[in-house]
Each structure stands twice: as C-alpha cells, then as structure tokens.
Amino acid sequence: MQERIIQCAIQEIEARGVRFTMSDLARRAAMSTKTLYTYFPSKEALITNVIEDSLQDIREREDQILHDRQMDLAEKMRQLLALVPNSFARTDLRVWFELKRYYPEQWKLIEEFNRQEWEHVRIILEQGVEQGIFRKIQLPVLIQMYTGGIEQLIDQQTASNPQMTISEALDAMIDILLGGVLATKTGEEGKK
C-alpha cells in the first residue's frame, strides 16, 4: 500500500508539482485522507520518502553505469552527470523551485546528495585522464560549476524557460560542461 501511495504521489508531482494536497493524493490513490495519514503522518514525510527512494535509485543507477562494459567513458560521464531522480525527471524546473522554496528540509536531502555523490564521477574522470579521453581538471571546480549551475537553473526558472524539464536543462548544461563552447576545427558545430 505504501508503494502505491508513493507512485500516486509521483503522479501528483508530475501533474501539479509539489503543491498538491493530501486530499488530492487520497483521491488519486482511491482511499480516504484518514487512511493516507496512517501511512504518512504528513505531506513532508511523504515527500521525504519520495526523495529518499529516488536518491537510492540514483545510487543504484550510478553503479550500473560505472560497471557497464558496453559504454565508453565519455558516455558514462555524460550519463552520471545527467542522472536525476526518475520521479522528478519529467518535471519542469518550476517543480524544483517549489520544492526548494516550500520544503527546505527535504531540499537539504538533495543538496547533500549533490555535494557528496561524486565518487563515480571521480573514478570515470581518473580512468579517462589515464586513457587520454579527458583533460586533467580540478574535480572540486567541476563540482562547484555543476552544483552552482543546477542552483541557478532552478532559481532563475521563471526568467528562462519554466516549461523546460530538469532533464532537458541538465542535458544542455552537460553539453556545455563536456564540450565547451569552442567549435571544432572542422567547424561542424558552427554549422548547426
């Protein structure tokens, strides 16, 4: 039952953002609000559970990417940097802004994860440097650029494209982080 409630909560987040009500969720889950509160004492507890489950899913996906023998290092790096919780991947930046603004305790879980979960990236980066695929860089600077970029995308969501999903925003940011802004010598990027 708890898993069903979480899946319904994810659907509510996709449909309404994090500002859905527990009554909305109870209707979607086809149960009374009273029954819903027996599983989750508050909306904050529910959102915490959704985030914790999502972050665990990301950890598992990081391990899969790291150990995928079919994927080259550049693609592994791209996929590691692009990982977002499945339950929030299709949501637009507005949802992330609302989560940060209205649920600061739950947002801290995401911030802490973003600060700490860099071991897989470090491993891929070191392997890539060793193989001549990546330049040697300062990982702490990459981390600051990445986390700062995400923060700015979320905080400035109303000024840019509020309908852009977090996945689309990350893909655009990662293209710049990994590819830079210089065109190749053949000028291919300049022609796009």
pLDDT in tens, 53-69: 989 999 999 999 999 99
Report the percent of the chain where pLDDT is more than 90: 57
pLDDT computed for residue 192 by the predictor: 46
At 138 the pLDDT is 94
Domain 55-181 annotated CATH 1.10.357: yes
- Region 125-137: mean pLDDT is 95
pLDDT of residue 45: 97
List helix spans (H) across 73-138.
73-82, 86-89, 93-102, 104-116, 119-130
- pLDDT above 90 for 172: no
Task: List the single range of 148-152, 159-163, 170-174 with lowest mean pLDDT.
Answer: 159-163
Does residue 190 register a pLDDT over 60? no
Query: Is residue 92 helix, strand or coil?
Result: strand
pLDDT given for residue 159 in this prediction: 54
Domain spans of the chain?
55-181
- Burial annotation 14-27 (CB, 10 A radius, 16+ → b, else e): beebbebebebbbe
DSSP 3-state of 135: coil
